[in-house]
Structure 1
Amino acid sequence: MGNIKSHIKYKQPSIKKIPEFDQIESDQERNEKLMDFYLSTSIDAIDRSHIYHFLRACIFQSSFSSPVEDKLIQGCKVLDIGCGAATWLLELSTKYKNSYFYGVDIKPIYPQEIKPYNLEFIKADVTDRLSFNDDEFDFTHVEFMSFVFTSNQWDFVLSELIRVTKPGGYIEVAGRRNGYVGEGPIFRKLTDAIWLMYSKQGIDVKLMYNLDSKFELQPNIGKVHRIEKDFITGPNGGKIGLVWQDMSIAYFKSKLAIQVISKELGISEEEFNNMVKNLTEEFKQTRAECVHVRFWAQKQLSE
């Protein structure tokens, strides 16, 4: 679901490993597993990303917060970075037929053939610089990429989004707070393990919640607007809470999550599965608050 610049390569080593040393992982192999864990292309992961899109749209009561509705209706040019399965783009390109949309991602899990006529996908890494010209888009967007970019990469990504946006156009960044308030011990242990895995790779998992501070330092940017929405995980959060509960449990039950998180916790896969089995009951007793955030700003004329 995103772009990543780095030494991480999505291909198998050309040199075969000696069998007796298979259990010894190199840094590159650990990084590959971590990125596969986050950028999973399994059918279940793609389904969860579709559901997650509509959950976010529900809590914000919109698929974007920038004031671009009139432009989209009239016809404009839109870019989405880290488009993943392209749920956001598919929805908007179907609704706003006068506008033209581009999606960029390092992993081509977006639709290859069946898609609206006004939607185009490009396989690329945003941290290698976008191929678009300056001042090309009316609206640029990036969402749910907090586990992909380092702090320095965020500086570059924001500068690229601003570069390709027209003066008077809008840039929007969205994500969620990677951490909960009021969670139970099982959920806390599982999520803390995830935050720790990414922290070990130089990812600041807390940065997204305060990314407006970086956004404001960029040149040619007007006031950065911040919008927050929260809900409670589990039955105490109503229908949305139950959807998030089901998504979380399905995520922890995925084969890759079982392998990666159990190893990080230093427990067997059986012990990990038993923890996950007890999550549903724990959610009934707790009120784990999940917070999502959007930042948007208008590009100003160069001085």
Structure 2
Amino acid sequence: MKIDENDLSDRTIAGSEKNEKFAESTDDFEIKHEERTYQQWKGSNYVLPADEEEKRRCVFLTSARRLDLQHLVIRRSFGNKFIYPCVKISPGDRVLESGAGSGAWITEAAKVLGPEVQIDGFDIEGRLFPRHPPPNVSFCLASVTELPAAWTGRYTFVHQSLLTAALQRPQWEVALSEIHRVLKPGGWVQLIETGGTWNVVGPYSRKFLTMYERLTARKNLFFDCVQQLPDLLTETGFTDIHVVERDYGCDMSLGTPEAADARAGFIGMLRGLKTPVLKLGGLGLVYTSEEFDADIAGIEQEYSTTPNSCHHIAMILAQKRE
């Protein structure tokens, strides 16, 4: 395994909390609020929304949609590499994106790779798919835990990002097996995930970290998947595993457009947690809709003014044996 990661020794990185009592509690009451719309795929635990607010232009300091903005920040995090250099894609190859969302990654891939590369994307929710994709791009509804049998051995490259908020550990194991199946021998998978830790810079970031830990515990999501994905990939049969860790965008307290983008994208994600958190009674941390909104304002202010307000993100690549 080849590890290439930033030195994080000068930061205070919060450790994960178990919160077993919240994972086991069944006596929650829903807190009244204006609910957002979420996917309805049977068996899915994805905790972020799939609605017009997720798709529309953000009201922060940028005109990009949140998912498009997220793609931009991730690309910047890895030196504007959206496909890592060890992956070679040639005319006639087919590329797949798992969890395509708004199609931001696919749209850019189609421009860079050219019309002779077919790019397919799937998601459990189609509301956010682009209405007019390029001619060499297609989208469909599917789950990474059960891909079509006809896709076996079809793809040279599979890209997937940020399913930490969607998959339980057993589902990750199935998903990696399915990705392995649809890859050609010698093909590559590229996984991008946030780490199981956040940089705590004040009381609001601590509160939201605890909130996210409790939410993922209740949904039994694989919160620390970054640390364990290399081993899972090896067990699935992948080889030549690379792990590249970077800051998510940059220090969000900097007075730059890049910092504003990183902050807006991250705050937008946190806003998306409101409905699942309040439907679980606030998880012992918030007690009204207004309190959740006030905490969002607090963490936005905290990130805007506190130096070293940044998180980290990992790109994990692995190859299917020839």
The alignment's TM-score, normalised by the length of structure 2, stands at: 0.75
Alpha-carbon distance, 1:145 to partner: 0.5
Alpha-carbon distance, 1:90 to partner: 1.2
Query: Is there any run of 5+ residues in structure 2 with no aligned partner, and where?
Result: 1-28, 32-37, 56-64
Equivalent position amino acid for 2:168 in 1: T
- Structure 2 residue 272 is matched with structure 1 residue 263: no
Match of 1:3 in 2: none
Match of 1:7 in 2: none
Equivalent position amino acid for 1:294 in 2: M
2:30–2:278: 8 Å Cα contact kept in structure 1?
Answer: no
Percent sequence identity is 20
Q: Deviations over 1:155-193 (max 9, x none)?
A: 111111111111111111111114212421111202320
Higher helix share goes to which structure?
1
Tell which deviates more after alignment, 102-111 or 46-55: 102-111
Tell which deviates more after alignment, 145-154 or 205-214: 205-214
Structure with larger RCO (C-alpha < 8 A, sep 6+): 2
Find the aligned partners of 2:170 and 2:85 in 1 and give their Cα distance: 25
Equivalent position amino acid for 1:44 in 2: E
Tell which deviates more after alignment, 38-47 or 117-126: 38-47
Alpha-carbon distance, 1:240 to partner: 3.1
Match of 1:87 in 2: 104
Alpha-carbon distance, 1:236 to partner: 3.8
- Structure 2 residue 199 is matched with structure 1 residue 181: yes
- The alignment partner of 2:235 has SS state of coil
Equivalent position amino acid for 2:310 in 1: E
Change (3 A) 1:48 1:113: closer
- Structure 2 residue 209 is matched with structure 1 residue 191: yes
Q: Stretches of 4+ moved more than 6 A in 1?
A: none
Change (3 A) 1:260 1:208: farther
Find the aligned partners of 1:217 and 1:36 in 2 and give their Cα distance: 24
Match of 2:95 in 1: 78
Match of 1:169 among 170, 180, 187: 187
Matches within 5 A, 1:1-303: 38-46=47-55, 47-60=65-78, 61-65=80-84, 67-69=86-88, 71-72=89-90, 74-96=91-113, 97-111=115-129, 113-219=131-237, 221-231=238-248, 232-236=250-254, 238-253=256-271, 256=275, 259-260=278-279, 263-264=282-283, 265-283=285-303, 284-301=305-322
1:178–1:195: 8 Å Cα contact kept in structure 2?
Answer: no
Alpha-carbon distance, 1:217 to partner: 1.5
Aligned-CA RMSD value: 2.9
Find the aligned partners of 2:297 and 2:215 in 1 and give their Cα distance: 22
Equivalent position amino acid for 1:42 in 2: D
Match of 1:27 in 2: none
The count of corresponding residues between Structure 1 and Structure 2 is 271
Alpha-carbon distance, 1:233 to partner: 4.4
